[in-house]
Structure 1
Amino acid sequence: MSLQSSEDTLKLYTTKKEFFIGKRVFTDRGRYVSNRVHVTFQIEMRKKRSANGYYYWGIYVNVNAPVPLECDVSFNLDSEQNKVHECCDGIIDQGSDEIGIDEFIHHGYFMLKSSGFFFKKEAKITVKLTFSCTSKADEELYEPIKMIQSNEWCKRLQNHGKKILSLLLEMHLLKYIHKFFITLESPVIAAMLDNENFIEAQTGEMIITDFGAGIVKAVVDFCYGEDISDIMDLTDCAVDILMFADKYDMKNLKSAFEEYYCKKLTRDNVGKILEAADKANAVTLKNKCIAFIQNLPTEQRKDIANGCKSLDYELRQLFM
C-alpha cells in the first residue's frame, strides 16, 4: 500500500489490486466474492435484474476499517477491444461497510465473445481504492505505531555473551536466550532462575505450557528491543501478551502494552481489551476503555457489556 501525504489535508492511502475471475463464475453462479486483500478490502460482483428487465453485474468493495473513512474507488474491466471504467465514492463506517455500482456492466455485453473481456476464460478486474480518515484523531488511530522498547542497549548487547537459558514450549525447544535479558524484565523469572530449589535454576531450562509459541517469541523479541506491533494488532494475541506480562510481572512490557492500546482502541476490540486490562489490573488502560465505551451509542455499549462475560456485574452496568 502506498502512502501520499499533504501538510494541509488528512493523509491519503491508496491500494491497487488486479483480480482474475473465471468465466464460469459469471455463467453458473451469479456471484463472485474475492478473498480479502491484506486486511483492507475485498471485491464482490452480483448479478441483478434492472427495472428495464435487463441483467447487469454490479461491483462493490467491502472495506473493513477501525475508523470511518472517506473512500474513492475506481473499477476497470479491460480487453484489447473494449474497456469499462467506473468510479464511485462514499463514507465507510467504522467496522465493515460497502460501496459500489449496481449496474457496472450489462450481462449480455460482458459475455459477448466479440467484446473480448475474457482471455483464456478469465476476465481481469482492476480495483484502485483511495481513502482518507475523516478526522485527525482517527488518522492517528489508523497510523502504525511501533511496540518497541526505547532502551538501545538491548540491541547493543543481544549479540554478546553466552545464551545460557533455553525456553521450551511443551517440551519443544523454542530458542536460547540470554538469561540477563529475561530476568531484567521479570522478577518472577529471576527468582525462579536464582533459587536452586527451582528446577529451572538447576537445568537452565524454562518450560512454558500455557502460552503459544508466537506469544513467547513476541515477548522474547520485546526483551531484545524488537518491534512487535504486527502481533499486537491481532487483538487475541495482544491479550495473551498482556496475560504473559501479568503472570511474570513484566512491568516494562505491561506499561508498553497500555501505552500502545490507549491509542488503538476501536469499537471492535475495546471489549476484549477491557476484560484483559481488568484481569491484569492495568488501571490506566482499563479507565481508557471505560471512557471509550461510555462515549459510544447506547446499543453499542449494551452489545459490548453483554459480550464481556468475565467483567463483574457492577462494571458491566456502567454501559447498560
Structure 2
Amino acid sequence: MAFARPPAETNAAAQPESTAARPESVLSVGIAVALTAVILYGALTLGLGGFTAFMFGGPIGLLMVGLVFVGTVVLISTVAGFGAGRRRIGAAVCVTALAFVALVTAVFGFGTVPMIWVQPGFDLATLMIAVLCALFLGVFFRSWQSRIAGVIGCAALVAGAVWVTVPEPEPTGPSQAELQSNANFEAYIANGQFPLIADLPGGSLVEVSLNSGPPHTFTETADGGLVEVVIDRQPLVATNPETVPCRYIVDVTAGVVIEETDTLQDYSSWCVFDQGIWRLVNGTGYARMDNGSVITVTSASSAHIRADNGQRPATPDEVFSAWNSVRPMTEIEVREHRDVW
C-alpha cells in the first residue's frame, strides 16, 4: 500500500528576514516623530511664504504651497518608514494636511498677515503646530506609547483651534485707558487749579478749550457777545516782565511786532497800564499778573465766533463787565465739561 507523503511544514522562521517588517522601537519612533517636527516646521514656514505670495502675487503662491505639500508628504512618509519599517504614505498625507489646516486656522484666528505683522502669540504658532502634528503621527504606529502621544497631540490641536477661533467676550467694565483717564481727571480735580470764566448776568459758558497752551473759556453774553478768558499759570518769560500782560492781549495779526527788549513806552500805542492792569486802547482786552499767573479777558476773535448762532465779538462794555466778573470754574462746572479733559 502506498502512503501519501505529508506536505512539508512551513517554517516562518526560515523565511528571509528581508520580507518581514522591522519591529518598532520607542527610539526609532521617537526619532521619526522628531524628524517629522523639523520637516513640518520648515514646510509650514515655506507655506506661510506661499500664502503671502498668493495674497499679493496670485496663483504663483498656490503653486508654491502645492509643491511644499507634496514634498512634505514624501519626506514624512520616508521618515515614518524609519520608525515603522515601511513607508506610511497615508499617514504622511494625514499629518501634512492636518498641519496646513491648523496653520490656516491660526492665520485667520489671530487675524494677522504672515510675515508682515505678528500679533502676540502667533510667533509660536508654526512651531507648536509642527510639534503637535508630529506627535499625531504616533497614532499610525503600533506601540501604545506612540498612540497615546498621537492622541495628546490631536487633542492639543483641537483645543488650540477652539482657543483662537472662539471670539473673546466683550469687556463689561471700563478699559484700562478709561480707568487711567478717570484717574487723571480726579487728580486734576484734587489739584483745584481750574480755568477762569466770566460770570455775567444772563451769560452762558459755551466752550472750554485745553487743546493748546493755557486753558481758554468762552462766555456768551445775554446779547450774543463772545468773551474769551485765559489764565496762564506758566507765562512766557520776557526781558521786561512788566510788559508780559500786554503781550498776551495785543493782536499780533494787526502788524504788532513784539520784541524781547520792549518797554512800556513801546506798547503805548496798543496798551494802557494803570494800577497793575493792562488795557487795550480800544477797550476790548484786559490783563494783569496774579501770583505769577497772567489773567486776560478779551473780545473773542473771529475764529471762535459762530455767526450762524447769533454770536459776535464782545463790545468794550461787555469785555469790561466780564473783566469784573471773572472767577474760577466750580467743580460742578468742570465735571459738566469733563469731555475736554
TM-score, with normalisation over the residues of structure 2? 0.17
Q: When you count strand as a share of all residues, which structure comes out higher?
A: 1
Q: When you count helix as a share of all residues, which structure comes out higher?
A: 2
Q: Which has the larger radius of gyration?
A: 2
TM-score, with normalisation over the residues of structure 1? 0.18
